[in-house]
Structure 1
Amino acid sequence: MVKYIGSKRALLPWITGVVEQINAIDPLKDAVDLFSGSARVGHALKKMGLFVTANDLHTYALVLAQTLVQANREQYPPERLEPILKRLHRLRGQSGWFTRTYCQESRFIQPHNGAKIEAIREGIEREAAGDETLRAILLTSLMLAADKVDSTTGIQMAYLKRWAPRSFNPLRLEYPPLLPGEGQALQADALEIAPHLQADLFYLDPPYNQHSYLGNYHLWETLMRWDNPQTYGVARKRTEVQERKSPFNSKREAAGAMAKLLSGLRARHLVLSFNNEGFLGLEEIEALLKGWGYVVRLTQPHRRYVGARIGIYNPQGQKVGQVSHTENEEYLFVATHSKKVYHALRSREAGRLAG
């Protein structure tokens, strides 16, 4: 899986444990991951046996969801994909606009890997002609490979002053972690599509604060869209980063957006991820969820992403500002129509606090 500031990698056992507890009391058949991002949670829910619909507005997130949630491993097994990956890997590097923009004008990836990425990216269009799922799987393999040789702290707002040791490694394509079974990947604005979806459980992980996921992962967006966009700034972000804003990234608009979103959901259970760096307060979120009946708040400490722990540096490599804190409080708000689920989760949290 890619490095992702919103990733729930470390929190996944906690989240899936909560869903499993709900499932044990009130069996679930399907779930919606409405802000799927890296698709890590959607992938885990599919692994639990649920039919998962994963949605996100960004193209890189759609590709990840098409691979990790929608694709069926039985139709795209390793023995089918490995020969294609080997052919792509043997391609000779070709340096062009991608290498110039992201390896020379900025320094996210070493030029030798940038040229290899360009050749493979062009090769994918030839290999996957007419098969959108195969295309997504191959693109995911490329994104995962590029992520392992980048030179960032995990977000693409900036790159490291000196090349990261991993950036010297050669790019390697590998078979992504596909799962057997069906799923669905969508690309839409969550506020617009939510009223048209229905499932036993909705998992919500909206943006918490002012940081834009498109700005944080503009390189993956460009790699997936392959559109040679206009860019700006030292990080060579896509110019649309300045224009495409989510209401969840606005302190003034976040509460209204959350209220609108919750009013249109059709499900028996809702699990909402949030943390103490978000625009909305705990009581504010709980008040918005009251219409669902029973609301439980679960809490867990979590280390912040590595860039926040290292600190912030200017282009000259000088440290600016101070690290305010290295740990967050992560929250899961569970809203449910089931009194049994409510009491079970309350007991779970009480046991955690007592322990």
Structure 2
Amino acid sequence: MYDIWNRRYTGSKYKLADWISDLISGNCSGNSFCDIFAGTGIISYKMIDKVDEIYINDFLYSNELIYKAFFFQSKFDENKMEAYRAKFHALNASDLNDNYISNNFGGKFFSENDSRLIGGIREAIEADRSKLSEKEFSILLASLLYSADKCANTVGHYDAYIKGHDIVDSFSFDLISPYKADKSNIHISREDANELAQKLKCDIVYIDPPYNSRQYSRFYHVLENITCWKKPPLYGVALKPEPENMSEYCRSNANVFFKDLIDSLNCKYIVVSYNNTYDSKSSSSKNKMTLEDIETILKSRGKVKRFETAHNYFNAGKTDFNDHKELIFIVKVK
């Protein structure tokens, strides 16, 4: 079974999650926590048992779906989920017709057989949607996303697929392992962070925005496509749909939006993750906000504590990161 951290994701805080959650627990007090750019959801997972109320937000459809699958507190039929697992695990690609996934991504992001299985299972989940609760639907679809990601012919994102080799069939459907607790105050949303900040009231807000020009909706377009299942036309070598859901934090005016976010927050503590990739040789890796931008904006809200640790950042091979660090800023709001 898949745990929430069993996926490849640019900027994932999996290896830093214990360090970050310990810093939050040791330097902040409060009963409510918001992970406003939640990404993989790993920081939410680490904090969920430490607070009474938690807000988990991200602007990707696939991430929202994954949060519902793992965290949405609703009963589901485990025997039914196991029956679907056995059914999907036993499928043979040769028994399936071609579909949207195999026609577009076969032999590229996935092997021909794996893509036929992924598309066939997605069609089956959609066909049975009326027989499934929201929790059950989310579990099955999130399980498909995790299983597909595990066999994807990529370096960890979907901006490109690996060329020049035969793709081995390796897809195997397995279920995720949902978080189980008697906890009602879990709020899951897919909102623009700046808009959510206007109405949010929370003790601790954790902020880990994208800092460079890599748009996550484009990086993970295949998973977004499988989630939404609108079957749009695709373009270019990477087979992307028309652009949508683009973040202002990946553009040159990112610091303007960051300041608006920080100024809008109604909270006791602001916790910000930042990695020092702004000296990168790759233009797409260069941060849109400098360390000085971050510190100046945060100091306007209160006293700032700074923590740092060495961290190996995602690197596709074009950039040499020397002395790379992950920084955490904790602001006690005045």
TM-score by length of 2: 0.87
Does structure 2 conserve the Cα–Cα contact (< 8 Å) formed by 1:2 and 1:143?
no
Q: Distance in 1 between matches of 2:276 and 2:149?
A: 28
Asked if 1 retains the 8 angstrom alpha-carbon contact of 2:267 and 2:333, the reply is no
Matched, 1:8 2:17: no
Residue pair 2:205, 2:269 contacting (<8 A) in 1 also: yes
Is 2:231 the partner of 1:228?
A: yes
Q: Which moved further from structure 2: 85-94 or 114-123?
A: 85-94
Q: Is 1:19 the equivalent of 2:24?
A: yes
Partner of 1:53: 55
Q: Letter of the aligned partner of 2:261 in structure 1?
A: L
Matches within 5 A, 1:96-115: 96-104=99-107, 107-115=108-116
Find the counterpart in structure 1 of residue 298 from structure 2.
289
The structural deviation recorded for 1:164 is 8.1
State the match for 2:87 in structure 1: 87
Q: 320, 323, 330: which one pairs with 2:319?
A: 323
Deviation string, structure 1 residues 123-161 (Cα, Å, up to 9, x no partner): 212444262222111111111111111111101111112
Q: Secondary structure, in 3 states, of the residue corresponding to 1:231?
A: coil
**Partner Cα separation in structure 1 for residue 197 and residue 35 of structure 2:** 10
Note the C-alpha offset of 1:78.
4.1
User: Could you tell me which residue of structure 2 aligns to residue 202 of structure 1?
Assistant: 205
Bigger Cα displacement from structure 2, 221-230 vs 116-125: 116-125
Q: Could you say if the C-alpha distance between residues 162 and 41 of structure 1 is closer, same or farther in structure 2, counting changes exceeding 3 Å?
A: farther
Gaps of 5+ in 1: 312-321, 339-355
Which 5+ residue runs of structure 2 have no aligned equivalent?
A: 1-5, 278-286
Q: Which amino acid aligns with 2:276?
A: N
- Aligned pairs (5 A) from 1:327-346: 328-337=324-333
4+ long deviations beyond 6 Å: none
Map of 1:269-308 to 2, 5 A cutoff? 269-277=269-277, 278-305=287-314, 307-308=315-316
Alpha carbons of 1:141 and 1:112: their partners in 2 closer, same or farther (altered >3 Å)? same
Report how far residue 326 of structure 1 moved: 6.5
User: Are the structure 2 counterparts of residues 70 and 198 from structure 1 closer, same or farther at C-alpha, using a change threshold of 3 Å?
Assistant: farther
Hey, what's the Cα distance between the residues in 1 that align with 2:97 and 2:31?
A: 47
Report how far residue 77 of structure 1 moved: 6.6
CA 1:128–1:19: 2 relative to 1, 3 Å: farther
Q: More displaced, 84-93 or 230-239?
A: 84-93
Q: How does 1:175-186 map to 2 (within 5 A)?
A: 175-180=176-181, 181-182=183-184, 183-186=186-189
SS of 2:46 mapped into structure 1: helix
Deviation digits for residues 210-262 of structure 1 (CA, Å, limit 9, x no counterpart): 11001110000001011111211111012225xx43221112x1111001111
Which has a greater percent of helix? Answer: 1
Cα 1:61–1:170 shift into 2, 3 Å: closer
CA distance in 1, matches of 2:206, 2:176: 27
Report the counterpart of residue 259 of structure 2 in structure 1.
259
Contact 1:47-1:179 within 8 A present in 2 as well: no
Q: Secondary structure at the match of 1:66?
A: helix
**Post-superposition shift, 1:12?**
0.6
Cα separation, 1, equivalents of 2:238 and 2:216? 14
Distance 2:49 2:111 in 1: 35
Q: 8 Å contact 1:303–1:326 — kept in the other structure?
A: no
- For 1:36-51, list aligned pairs within 5 A: 36-51=38-53
State the alpha-carbon separation in 2 of the partners of residues 14 and 260 from structure 1.
Answer: 28
The residue matched to 1:238 in structure 2 has which SS? coil
CA distance in 1, matches of 2:331, 2:159: 34
SS of residue paired to 1:124 = helix
CA distance in structure 2 between the partners assigned to 1:125 and 1:219 by the alignment: 17
Q: Residue 240 in 1 paired to residue 236 in 2? A: no
Kept in 2: contact 1:59–1:221 (CA 8 A): yes
RMSD: 2.2
Give identity over the alignment, percent: 26
| Letter aligned with residue 210 of structure 2 | P
In 2, the alpha carbon distance for the partners of 1:80 and 1:178 equals: 18
8 Å contact kept, 1:66–1:184:
no
Structure 1 counterpart of 2:282: none
Which digits, 9 at most, give the CA deviation of each residue in 1:145-190, with x for residues without a partner?
111111111011111124587x532322223342323312111111
The amino acid across from 1:336 in the alignment is: K
The match for 1:31 is 33
Secondary structure at the counterpart of residue 271 of structure 2 = strand
Which residue identity lines up with residue 34 of structure 1 in the other structure? I
